[in-house]
Structure 1
Amino acid sequence: MKRILAAAVLALGLFWQTGAAIAHHGWAWTTGGNIDLTGVITEAELGNPHGVLTVEVDGETWTLEVGQPWRNERAGVRDGDLAPGVEIRAIGEPAADKSEKLMKVERFWLGDREYVLYQGRD
């Protein structure tokens, strides 16, 4: 009986964590509407499952999720483009919980050059 209970608790825990990860990496956690932010990148971690930028925007620290490596490459992003000290303008969907200061970026600009990561919710 203890083994069955332990297995059930483990399965429930794995399901809960997997469900949270799936929900976060989709679009369910966003508002469904776009905002426009301009700031300076202070940290950049590009890789799987997606790139993450820390950006200072008007005295607030925002976390911007950019695309997976293949999506960034498809958009024309090159090594070094998204680096500390670079100014970025980003449009995307913010987290439904406004206290998170988190955005899933759909498109961004570095200078005059536009990079399109998502067309709709592809």
Structure 2
Amino acid sequence: MRRRSLLLAALSALLLAIAPAQAHHGWTGGETIELTGTITAARLGNPHGELTLDVEGEQWTVEVGQPWRNARAGLEDGDLAEGVEIRVSGEHAGERLMKAEQLWIGDAHYVLYPGRI
């Protein structure tokens, strides 16, 4: 019986440790919003890229995909760079924070998370 209790305690601790990571990387079911602005900073890499987007004088953080996901969507080096104007649609994930699902650069449309739209 003691062994079973220890096993359940260890399993519970593991699940509690994983929960914050899932919440950070998953979608929370927030509303879908759309922003248009100019990229003022870009950090592309793992675990996901982040853009700082100037939207009418407000700075928004826009999380984009991992490098492989961006490439799969058709984005190339330099597409998400300072000075580029984009329109982006995705989940409003916090105060001036968005998780991008799709974006447009000019007339080009890129779908980062096909299962989300």
In the alignment, which residue of structure 1 is the partner of 2:9? none
In the alignment, which residue of structure 2 is the partner of 1:48? 46
Deviations 1:8-31 (A, max 9, x none): xxxx6x876643222110112x51
In the alignment, which residue of structure 2 is the partner of 1:86? 84
2:98 equivalent among 103, 111, 118 = 103
Deviation at residue 64 of structure 1 after TM alignment: 0.3
Deviation at residue 115 of structure 1 after TM alignment: 0.6
SS of residue in 2 equivalent to 1:54: strand
Question: C-alpha distance in 1, partners of 2:49/2:25?
Answer: 12
Distance 1:40 1:16, change over 3 A: farther
Deviation at residue 120 of structure 1 after TM alignment: 2.6
Distance 1:115 1:101, change over 3 A: same
Q: How does 1:67-78 map to 2 (within 5 A)?
A: 67-78=65-76
Which residue identity does 1:45 align to in structure 2? R
Deviations 1:65-110 (A, max 9, x none): 1111111000011111100000010001101x4xx21001010011
In the alignment, which residue of structure 2 is the partner of 1:34? 32
Which residue identity does 1:22 align to in structure 2? Q
Structure with greater proportional strand content: 2
Question: In the comparison of the two structures, how many residue pairs are matched?
Answer: 107
In the alignment, which residue of structure 2 is the partner of 1:8? none
What is the TM-score when the length of structure 2 is the normalising length? 0.81
Q: Which runs of 5+ in 1 are unaligned?
A: 1-11
In the alignment, which residue of structure 2 is the partner of 1:112? 107
What is the TM-score when the length of structure 1 is the normalising length? 0.78
Which residue identity does 1:92 align to in structure 2? G
Q: Which runs of 5+ in 2 are unaligned?
A: 1-12
Question: C-alpha distance in 1, partners of 2:44/2:88?
Answer: 16
Which residue identity does 1:19 align to in structure 2? A
Deviation at residue 58 of structure 1 after TM alignment: 1.0
SS of residue in 1 equivalent to 2:24: helix
